[in-house]
Amino acid sequence: MKYLPCTLFFVVALAVCPATAQDQDWQDASNAVNTLLAQAIRDADKTRAIISTEKRDISAEKATLQHRIDSKQKRFDQLKTHYETLLEQEKALKEELAEKAQEIKTIDGTIRTSAKQARDYFHESLTTPEYPERSVVLAEVLQPDTFPGLDGIRNLLSLHLDEMNASGEISKRNGSFIGRDGMDKTGELIRIGTFTAAYRLQDGTLGFLRPTSDGNKLMAVQGEPGWSLSELMDDYFDGKAAVFPVDISNGAAFTRLAQEQKGLWEWLRAGGLLVWPIILVGIVAIGIVIERFNTLRKIRGNSDRNMQHILQMVAKGEWKKCGNFCNAKSQFPTCRIIGHTLKYMGNTREIIENAFQEGLLKELPVLERFLPTLNVLAAVAPLLGLLGTVTGMINTFQIITLYGTGDPRMMSGGISEALVTTQLGLAVAVPIMILHHMLERRVDKIIGDMEEKGTGFAIALMKKGQNKKWENFDAAA
């Protein structure tokens, strides 16, 4: 094709070329041209052939390439679809993952909560000191930012199962604990389920145990178990009895055990101001009682024997000796009265009786001194207690007016004042009453004895006088 313009140019040049040359020339020229032309045609054919071959080659090549493009496109499409499916798959999986993560978080939270609960519970539990590995396991489970994993969960579960087991058994062992004075002690320990733990020391001291605040050690409860409880516990420790006192209130009873043994001073202070007059009444009463008992003890002598002596002397008419005897025994009121009566000897009966009554009246105040006071004190003490009750109640109601009845703790101050004074008043009054009765009986007995002996003496005296009179009569007759 590319030879065509060249050929044409050549032809035209030949045509244009002036035919100044000869025919020969021309002929030659035309031959030459023809040859050229033929050449050119050959060339053109050759070229055309080449072109067509090339054309064929190119088209073949194109076809191959096209084919390759197509196949590539196909593959691309294929891969694109695949990618999209994968994207979708990823999205779905991501959603699933988020869902699962939520679940895991819930589980984690649950486990942590339950581990915390377990920690709180084990701190309160009596069994913890026997299982020191508990705190390790719990610390592992409670580690922040880490999922405890199946092992952790299993450990936690086994802690609970251990606790369950322990709550059903009675364990007896030797171990250490913190004593009532805060020192470390070692002794026999007994644990009944998760209810109660108790200890016995070498010297026989008994007591109950509570876990300390961090739960790793046992600590003695403040306050002594009572006599009957101690007996039971001792028997159990020795294996003799099958009964053991158990605190089913989970420690509330122990608090009360300690609280019941609070000091006297605290108790008195709860009673308010009116406690002091009541105590004063009690002290005065005790003083009077001691004084009276002392006095009356001195007075009580063997009056029967004295009386026999006196009567014998009277019968024999040994007046002087009798008087001396009475003076010697003047610590006994009976003798004093008789000595007093003796001075009126030989007078009429009225005078002797009057003298005797006078002596008795003189003795009575000494004997009965302070007894009415004691009686009054016994009556005053409960009244003071009642006064305290009323005062305490007034306080309580004032508090109620101020704060309402919402908090019972606020009211308990006034109420305890009311009750403590009543209690103290009664506690003072009851012994005073009994002691007063005893003293009164004793005084009554002494007075009765005095009256009896005095009358006996007066009669003896008068008989003597009568006999004298009769003798006089006889003498007169």
Partner 1 sequence: MQQLNLVDRMLELFQSGGELMIPLMGLSLIIWTLAIVKGIRFLRERHKETSPQQCMDMYRHKAGVNKAEPAHWQWDILSRYIDERCEDPELNREILKSIRAPHEFNAMCSIGTILILSAVAPLLGLLGTVTGMITTFDVISQFGTGNARALASGISKALITTQSGLVVAVPGLILGGLLFRRGEKLKARMELFCIGLQELTDSLTPGRK
Q: Closest Cα to residue 329, out of 339, 320, 319, 343?
A: 339
- Contact between 423 and partner 1 by CB under 8 A: the answer reads yes
- According to CB under 8 A, which one of 444, 468, 471, 472 is a site residue for partner 1? 444
User: What is the contact mask toward partner 1 in residues 206 to 235, using x (rule: CB under 8 A)?
Assistant: ----------------------x-------
Helices 275-299 & 408-476 angle (0-180, nearest 10): 20
Is residue 167 helix, strand or coil? helix
Q: Closest Cα to residue 257, out of 180, 169, 173?
A: 180
- According to CB under 8 A, which one of 56, 62, 269, 463 is a site residue for partner 1? 463
Q: Which stretch binds partner 1 (CB under 8 A): 113-121, 217-225, 253-261, 364-372?
A: 253-261
- Contact between 451 and partner 1 by CB under 8 A: the answer reads yes
- Contact between 371 and partner 1 by CB under 8 A: the answer reads no
Q: Closest Cα to residue 269, out of 71, 51, 416?
A: 416
Beta bridge partners of 211: 218
DSSP states of 73-85: HHHHHHHHHHHHH
Residue 259 C-beta: closest distance to partner 1, Å: 6
- Contact between 251 and partner 1 by CB under 8 A: the answer reads no
Is residue 178 helix, strand or coil? strand
198-207: long-range pairs with CB below 8 Å, 24+: 198/233, 198/244, 200/233, 200/234, 200/237, 204/234, 206/230, 206/233, 206/234, 206/237, 207/180
- Contact between 279 and partner 1 by CB under 8 A: the answer reads no
Q: Closest Cα to residue 109, out of 159, 144, 154?
A: 144
- Contact between 408 and partner 1 by CB under 8 A: the answer reads yes
Q: Which is nearer to partner 1, 36 or 462 (CB)?
A: 462
C-beta of residue 220 within 8 angstroms of C-beta of residue 207: yes
Residue 192 C-beta: closest distance to partner 1, Å: 19
- Contact between 422 and partner 1 by CB under 8 A: the answer reads yes
Q: Which stretch binds partner 1 (CB under 8 A): 25-33, 115-123, 362-370, 431-439?
A: 431-439
- Contact between 377 and partner 1 by CB under 8 A: the answer reads no
Residues that bind partner 1 (CB under 8 A): 228, 249, 252-253, 255-256, 259-260, 349, 382, 408-409, 412, 415-416, 419-420, 422-423, 426-427, 429-430, 433-434, 437, 441, 444-445, 448-449, 451-452, 455-456, 458-459, 462-463, 466
